[in-house]
Amino acid sequence: MKAYKTQEIDEESEKTVRKELKQWILEDENIFSRLKKLILLRERDRSTRENSIKILKKLIRFSKKTCDILLAMKMDVFICFILEREYKHTQVVKERLQCFKLIMAWLERQPSTFPYIFGQTIASIARNPEDQQ
């Protein structure tokens, strides 16, 4: 009996924490601008961009408002820029994979705001013989 009540309390507290965390993240738009700056970095080490894209993907799964914020910041253009880059290094492949995962998360979470540019980019990649690997 006690274990059941403890589990019930844990679930309620987890829901409360999630709700407050979601509200805190969405109110602080500095998070999104900082991630945008990290994605725009031109370093050889691409893991920073890759991890920033992962965080954006998780934020999309976290809340539907994230998609609207990303559209307002024109992040769809930057994601497509990363996807259309030539890739000769394995790290670029990882970066592109994270971009595709972000696109899938966006499509699953809020298809009504799915950017047209994502569809165009995917179609151009599919038509390119070099990318069919």
Containing domain of residue 103, as a range? Answer: 2-128
DSSP secondary structure code for residue 78 in this structure:
H
How many structural domains does the chain have? 1
Domain assignment of residue 116, yes or no: yes
Mean of pLDDT values over 90-116: 90
User: Considering the entire predicted model, what is its pTM?
Assistant: 0.74
User: Would residue 33 count as lying in a domain?
Assistant: yes
In a domain, 29, yes or no: yes
pLDDT of residue 131: 64
- C-beta separation of 41 from 82 below 8 A: no
For the residues 103-129, what does the mean pLDDT come to? Answer: 91
Let me know if residue 91 belongs to a domain: yes
Give percent above pLDDT 70 in the chain: 75
- Report yes or no: 62 and 110 within 8 Å, Cβ to Cβ: no
Domain membership of residue 121 (yes or no) is: yes
Let me know if residue 133 belongs to a domain: no
